[in-house]
Structure 1
């Protein structure tokens, strides 16, 4: 780090805690990565928590003449969120929101994830207008700063059009809240020169007929190229001009501290249709006709796109035989009631009834079918990413054409792909707005490959701008990728105007320089991100960042995306043999940042477009490190019953000490001992379980039974068999005994496997990369279950969700194994009379439950037992991860750091994993238990039970 940055860092330490100032090589590389195909490594990464820190940071940057780049989620695709200077990340302090009385407006801080904003509005049947494909990961700051749109919002409901008010920090550190009259008056008094200059620019722009007409034409289309010049023609009030210029400015004009949106309706009734045509031209004719009908979205997919997904499960066979010029439209319409929905379906059908389709079509309101249709459309981008050659990157561009010329534009794009030899390129997009995405794979490892990419982009610019007068960027933002083409699209007058805006609002040029406006005509060909092979488990990663919101270590160390970034770097350095000192440092740091603090929960795979489970990579790394431990693991697997008895004895010993000396002294003693051991001794907390009693031998069912009473094999997990409730728990019965009581109450005859103590699914070994021992235990258990279930005739109840998931991935197919959630939902609830609690209860859906798709079933169970079920916001995996809560407790603490205030009013918490419940109890201040306890408490057997 050069002296200028060292001096800057030294002064930063006066008001930013050291743990939020990152300069080490591993994390600057990891945190500096975004979803684009560019790479710059920041000198310093700063995590800010509130406005005053941002103001002081901007002031200090001005003093040292050092550039700042603000980063929200890093899902941007055009290189607008990277820097080789100072990267500013948002901490926990930026997730606030408020909704007005009728939910017509929502005020959001920039750290709120877009999908979360919609979740807050869902009870009012409202949503925010912008709906980017990245909405489950993208944060409001980035959505607004890029004017991101999506499939349904078009130009009428994007951030620019639905903006109500904004709180911003400008490059001189001044704050303006346009929703606060006092702030506005003060700003007008103190910044009269700036506001007058904006007013003058607007008046000159409106007076320039040619320029005004160009602006009006450009924004009839979707357009995010350059600055929002329409602010100068749409508004006369300089305050309105200023806040609308901030939309789409990509952090180059100021920092958005909060934004107030006018919300839009979220109609509950929806219908979708997938319509195939033999010709692209017919498809585009349909788009033009649909523009005047009550459609919410019209998505186009070309033949190459359909070919990329035609082999996917559930795809109709006829797609494979469609002609080369075929295309499809995915149409959705929405209404506030079923009658109106049907009227809209009829109107839409009538508009295109005279067009010839490849197959008859119909609209469906079935949620599963609609979800399958949209999965096809959303699978197009990852379909290319999943099959690309290792070492290449996936590039997605987005352009917009006048809808009337859409067919010709698609044909011309196809010709460009042929000319520049991109046979895999496919086209899809938001056809209703003339907005097309094209996706292709690109290598940057040779001059020839670079020239091919440059030639394609030059031709695309000539085609979109020169021939069609379209937009080179419709919704992804200008960034570095399209900066060389801004003047070509807008012309010299408009380009000069953009420079004047930048100079007015950022005269020192410290805010995200090089983005949107860049004098280098080759900037889009520089600082290209390498994508070297790392491991087949993760090589298809496109570094989009969709995985990050669900990762429990995201605010402690690394996210799945960042782990892959670093592992790619380590693998590349190992192959090259260069810079061994850097390699050794990365490997050393990765041991904690990447391995020890990875929960390996696999939740990342549920949000990854290409289904990558980064936990598999972590386990593979652990496997390589633990090869010398295989023999001891095999011994432990063989003597597992003894290990379980030892565990129970240790829990008894710890509980006895807890009882004798009390919680406070026990915590002080064990923390000191852990510290002296170098954290080798596991952490003890008051939520530590007591030893579980051995499961009681099942007796006859409580409910009336017939000669053919249903049987169920009950498989208690290792945790259930060894870990009882915490000391002082509301109910001292073990989970195993409670489960037997519940199943019997529902009329089941419960069967326990013989020699239960030595049985295990293998999860404790699997998580540490001890694959041989893990597979041995699962194989052993499989044989026992086949025997006791009479070769799969009797269903098997598994009481711990992580164990259920592992077993379902490797048991004999004839075995009917159910996680406790599914079994209770399908077979137990119908047999019971439930009296719900009047008090609220908290629910934690484990990562393994989510991966099994059991979220809805678990919510049904809890909703039957309580009138109010609280699911805490922004809590995904709890981070306890088997024994990580004992050995790496900071992971559990970080994952649950926002839990306590959200559940303090609840009478209790419930989940489906005993180890998770330890950490949840410790960090929430309330006791978490299995849902079985709640259901057993609230239920009585029905007088008559029916066989399932």
Structure 2
């Protein structure tokens, strides 16, 4: 446990009785990993507790009260202002906080705090609804944090944030009392047990509303986008104490209680939308257009200054004119949405007519084309990552968000730019949600020396004076007060409102145990303390901004470490080593939690704002310990023999199953695998039987179109499991389907010696991997007659390995999904089956961009298609399912319940299908099995 002031013994003993050991963390690696959020602060908790029920939260809070121990709640850790870090006890949400209840055809939804915002919208999508808040982090941020920070976003404004769309709340107060505003029995019990508290809240409300000056100030402040301080508008908007209490919790950042469920009134999600990009010659003209647009049917208006546009002007897909804009140019990205196509066009006409009086420098008129629409929004969305990607190593990216009154927006923009120039933040950019006067400014900052900290301090003092005092604006529009604006709350609000906030804090948290130092702080320098270091670790990951966007798709999230935590720990290890500190113990711990349990499939890169693939770092670290280069070279040079060995081992395993029986073999294998630390592969009933012999027919030229079929090494070694209803190997099934569609199937020469190189690359043997890949590409070029024929590879991971950075444009390599959609569907008649089918989109299929197509093909082949929620990567990762089975098991822990009504699942990776079958309880097959089953040759096939 951390050696600073220890937690009280009675508290520790109580927690040990309440929370199982596997959900309590006090080791140096875990506490540092969890002590990191998306902000530029770091506090190392003495204890991290993963809670799985409200009962546990209640018990923890009661014990914390008794022992006077501060606690902080943590959801996704995407907070930008330091509100989800702690040097005491950090309470993080476990798996069991994902319940939802959809009401009234989607007009309301009740959510637990562990639900990711984007998932809530996915549940509501069939009803044409969504939750109001739309933060940029919605794909990672959880409902608990969205409510606690009163998050908003690009389209949300103030009208659709949590405060204004709140229909009900279930909360736990600091004393452990539970209150559910939608449960009459809970309300009645609370009114009896906490009558004095409710009366005090009511009285504070009466006093505030009677204080006309203060009430007017509060109403003015919340006319703007504002998350500075506590939600004082609750005292003037409501007179019933329960309503006041519920709305005080919104935006309280965990300082007043724990939110265990929230009910939203949802908002429409209109299906028709269009976007335009209008560049004005200067900031003044741009900002004068904003109040005009505020009167028009627009859903979002995003402002970008010239610096922000310059930061992305060289990216692919950017309009060419962006590079030639004048220095003073300022742009608006405008979106409009409507319930119908005709109404949308009516709206677009109104919007463009309103802008006609304003001079423009360049423009892209409204487009409904999804590709063009996406490119325009990329200008806005890529600005923040663009700064992060080019910053100096060791600096952090800071994004602040302030609000100016819209009528003073132009002056506010120019004054902010002046401050950035005054303090020499030359790389800074400025953009924001113009309709609300909400501006984000992004800059890079180092905190390594007192001079650098003083520079930041002076800048923030100037910003606070400018925004809060001169313009009467808000210092925090949507990111939450946190630690970095806590010292400026009184400056913005004045002493009277500030003391009212303290009264509310002391009323609801009399012992100050809930997230101390956040929102309200008596330390005027708290924003300059506990600043996060970002030491160099490796050029592969040094650009990481620790935002946490990667975490939802990581299969080891909740088992060991996430990509963000892997980088945090590696940074710390490297910094310690440079300081001469012995890191042997940390490295030993990191070897398993950081390296061995990383699937290294790179899904994190798809979510990362700066494109970091943490798997590349892991593979590099594996290469350092790849001490069997000679064996790898021998295997690469004698791959056919290695394949015979693989089939032999499968024969041995199958023989053991016949001899011992599956249950005994499973138990014996599990014990041996655990004892050998994964060196003995785990056997399960989903283990494939060996391919007996490859029967590859000779190619005889005929009139049919040719396709070169590269059967992956696993397809050449692994047949179906003994209990599988499908007993035809993938290779034979694929060939049959291709021939059914009228193709002549051609195999490359020396097939059993070919390999894409993935098995070598995953172990860190890059030289051998690249050699095998090139051998395979050469063989494919020959077999395809110099690229004349398409090439079909039967597993998506191998396809991805072959096509990544493929320089030879003559080769046209398809994975199963792409080949089926482009070459087979027009040659087959399909009658969809009645039986439900489960679909797993592999990591490689996602990287190849074929995920949506896989789902569409499945929907053509089956009337009911199930896509399990929250499973982005199965964690089998080549052979990890055999050597580190806990990764596969953890990733697929929710699969069985999700697919219980399906008889079969489909995928595009044979190894992934092994783990899916084991943990799903149904047989998973390659996509070709499904397509073959429901198809027949088209009577008049199309010619190629």
Distance of 2:672 and 2:903 partners within structure 1? 34
- Determine whether 1:672 maps to 2:663: no
Preserved contact between residue 839 and residue 906 of structure 1 (Cα < 8 Å): yes
Report whether the alignment pairs 1:271 with 2:274.
Answer: yes
Residue correspondence of structure 1 range 654-803 to structure 2 within 5 A? 654-698=653-697, 708-803=703-798
Counterpart in 2 of 1:828?
824
Q: Could you tell me which of 209, 212, 215 is aligned with 1:212? A: 215
Say whether 1:476 aligns with 2:479: yes
Deviation at 1:205, TM superposition (A): 0.3
Query: Structure 1 residue 178: deviation in Å?
Result: 0.3
- Which whole-Å CA distance do the structure 2 matches of 1:675 and 1:152 have between them? 51
Structure-2 separation of matches of 1:613 and 1:5: 41
Equivalent residues of 1:5, 1:43 under 8 A apart: no
Measure the CA separation in 2 of the matches of 1:746 and 1:55.
62
1:572–1:675 CA distance, 2 compared to 1 (3 A): closer
1:375 Cα deviation from its structure 2 partner: 1.5
Distance in 2 (alpha carbons) for counterparts of 1:147 and 1:907 = 43
The answer to whether the aligner puts 1:942 opposite 2:938 as a matched pair is yes
> Deviation string for 1:299-351 (max 9, x for gaps)?
00000000000001111222111111101111000001101000110111111
Tell me, what secondary structure is at the counterpart of 1:697? coil
Cα distance in structure 1, aligned partners of 2:705 and 2:619: 40
Structure 2 match to 1:633: 632
**Structure 2 residue 486 is the aligned partner of structure 1 residue 491:** no
Match of 1:587 in 2: 587
Instruction: Give the match's secondary structure for 2:366.
Output: coil
* Counterpart residue number, 2:643: 644
SS of residue matched to 2:17: coil
**Bigger shift: 381-390 or 181-190?**
181-190
1:359 Cα deviation from its structure 2 partner: 2.2
Task: Report the counterpart of residue 805 of structure 1 in structure 2.
Answer: 800
Q: Which runs of 5+ in 1 are unaligned?
A: none
Residue 200 of structure 2: aligned partner: 197
The aligned residue for residue 911 of structure 2 is 915
After TM superposition, give the deviation of residue 625 of structure 1 in Å.
1.3
Q: Shift of residue 695 of structure 1?
A: 4.3
1:576, CA displacement in angstroms? 1.6
Matched, 1:101 2:104: yes
Counterpart in the other structure of 1:256: 259
For structure 2, the residue ranges without an aligned partner over 5 or more in a row are: none
Determine which of 863, 879, 882 is the counterpart of 2:878.
882
Give the whole-Å Cα distance in 1 for the aligned partners of 2:62 and 2:394: 41
Q: CA deviation at 1:666?
A: 1.8
Q: Would the aligned equivalents of 1:693 and 1:721 in 2 still touch at CA under 8 Å?
A: no
- Following superposition of structure 1 onto structure 2, how do residues 62-101 of structure 1 map, counting pairs within 5 Å? 62-101=65-104
Deviation of residue 290 (structure 1)? Answer: 0.2
**Alignment correspondent of 1:14:** 17
Structure 1 residues 484-523: aligned runs within 5 Å: 484-523=487-526
Comparing 692-701 with 298-307, which one deviates more in the overlay?
A: 692-701
CA distance in 1, matches of 2:96, 2:575: 37
RMSD: 1.2
Residue 660 of structure 1: how far off its partner (Å) = 3.6
Instruction: Report what 1:167 is aligned to.
Output: 170
Between the aligned partners of 2:104 and 2:831, the Cα distance in structure 1 is 33
Matched, 1:610 2:605: no
Separation of aligned partners in 2, 1:414 and 1:635: 62
**SS in structure 2 of the partner of residue 405 of structure 1:** helix
Mapped pair 1:815 → 2:815: no
The secondary structure found in structure 1 opposite 2:200 is: helix
CA distance, structure 1, for counterparts of residue 723 and residue 58 of structure 2? 48
Query: 2-side partners of 1:700 and 1:119: how far apart?
Result: 49
Tell me by how many angstroms 1:679 deviates: 4.3
CA positional deviation for 1:182: 1.5
Aligned pair in 2 of structure 1 residues 800, 660: CA closer, same or farther (>3 Å)?
same
Residue equivalent to 1:624 = 624
Q: SS where residue 205 of structure 1 aligns?
A: helix
User: How many angstroms does 1:728 deviate by?
Assistant: 1.8
Are positions 1:325 and 2:321 aligned together? no
Aligned residues: 940
Please list the CA deviations of residues 763-787 of structure 1 after superposition, one character each: whole Å capped at 9, or x if unmatched: 0010011101101101111111111
C-alpha contact 1:429 1:435 (8 A) present in aligned 2: yes
Shift of 1:680: 2.8
SS at match of 1:493: helix
Aligned residues of 1:709 and 1:947 also touching (Cα < 8 A): no
Tell me the equivalent position of 1:417: 420
User: Paired residue for 1:129?
Assistant: 132
Check conservation: 2:678, 2:882, Cα contact below 8 A. Answer: no
Q: Which residue of 1 aligns with 2:359?
A: 356
Question: Deviation at 1:909?
Answer: 0.5
How far the C-alpha of 1:673 sits from its partner, in A, is: 3.1
Find the aligned partners of 2:401 and 2:6 in 1 and give their Cα distance: 41
Moved more, 178-187 or 477-486: 178-187
Partner residue of 1:904?
900
CA gap of 1:935–1:224, structure 2 versus 1, over 3 A, is: same
Answer yes or no: is the 8 Å Cα contact 2:699–2:746 preserved in 1.
no
Residue aligned with 1:429, SS: strand
- Kept in 2, the 8 Å contact 1:695–1:737? The answer is no
CA shift in 2, pair 1:323/1:484, >3 Å:
same
Residue-by-residue CA offset, 1:532-558 (whole Å, 9 max, x unaligned): 110000010000000000000001000
SS in 1 for 2:364: coil
Q: Secondary structure at the match of 1:395?
A: strand
1:708 CA drift (Å): 4.7
Give the secondary structure class of the aligned counterpart of 1:511: coil
1:369 aligned residue: 372
Per-residue CA deviations over 1:812-835 (Å, capped at 9, x if unaligned) read 232111111111111111110001
Q: Among 145, 148, 154, which residue is 1:145 paired with? A: 148
> Any idea what the Cα deviations from partners look like across 1:741-779, whole Å, max 9, x if unmatched?
011111111101111111000000100111011011011
For residues 587 and 821 of structure 1, what CA distance do their matches in structure 2 show? 41
Change (3 A) 1:215 1:317: same
Describe the SS at the equivalent of 2:358.
coil
Change (3 A) 1:143 1:360: closer
Q: Does 2:431 match 1:428? A: yes
Check if 1:385 corresponds to 2:388: yes
How many angstroms apart in 1 are the aligned matches of 2:912 and 2:940? 36
> What CA distance in whole angstroms lies between the structure 1 residues aligned with 2:505 and 2:563?
36
- Determine the C-alpha separation between the residues in 1 that align with 2:820 and 2:643: 27
Shift of 1:3: 4.9
Give the CA deviation at 1:692: 1.9
**C-alpha contact 2:677 2:883 (8 A) present in aligned 1:** no
